Amino acid sequence: MSVKSKTAAILLGLALLFTAGCGRRAISLDSAASGRTVELTVGQRLVITLPANPSTGYTWEVREGAAPVLEPLGDPTFTSDNPNLVGSGGTLRLVFRAAQPGATTLVLVYHRPWETDVEPLDTFQVTVTVR
């Protein structure tokens, strides 16, 4: 095999390696998906969008099930349904990356973090398998 052929083979191999995960789309879920089971591959993203209104003090937080199978990516982001109306509700977007193979039940709670003796206002749960 010539040097030129070896170089081409190496470059092709590297291109395949770097693009191997590019075809995986993020899995997006909303409140209707609570109770479902989803399957991800390592590196794939899980995007969860839930109704929220931070002006009330309530927020969605992970209660259990993320680490080590899922890794949160950044802080949750809020989008208002009506940005011109102070205190309006909207949606909170949480993004996770499938960090390693395994299975977990991700449980999110909608609560006021300082109210430790109060049941959450809402709960979102999804079973995740990462291959």
Tell how many helices (H) and how many strands (E) occur in the chain.
Answer: 1, 9
Report yes or no: 97 and 73 within 8 Å, Cβ to Cβ.
yes
CATH number for 42: 2.60.40.2020
| Six token digits for residue 15 | 């291109």
| Domain span holding position 107 | 24-130
The DSSP output letter for 16 is H
Residue 60 lies inside a defined structural domain of this protein: yes
**Per-residue confidence band for 85, with pLDDT thresholds at 50, 70 and 90:** confident
Do the Cβ atoms of 100 and 72 come closer than 8 Å? Answer: no
- 110 pairs with which residues across the strands? 60, 122
Whether 59 maps to a domain, the answer reads: yes
The answer to whether residue 15 is domain-embedded is: no
The reply to whether 124 falls in a domain is: yes
Out of 8-22, 26-40, 97-111, pick the least confident: 8-22
Kindly state the tokens that stand for 67. Answer: 């680490």
Domain assignment present for residue 95? The answer is yes
pLDDT digits (tens, 9 = 90+) for 29-72: 999 999 999 999 999 999 999 999 999 999 999 999 888 999 99
Amino acid at 44: Q
Q: 15 forms bridges with which residues in the sheet?
A: none
Output the DSSP codes for 22-73.
Answer: TTPPPEEEEGGGTT-EEEE-TT-EEEEEEEE-GGGT-EEEEEE--TTTEEE-
Provide φ and ψ at 13, rounded to 5°. -60, -45
5 domain-assigned? no
Tell me how many domains the chain contains. Answer: 1
Residue 7 falls within a domain, yes or no?
no
pLDDT band, residue 107 (cuts 50/70/90) = very high
Residue 17 covered by a domain: no
- Looking at residue 120, the DSSP 8-state letter turns out to be -
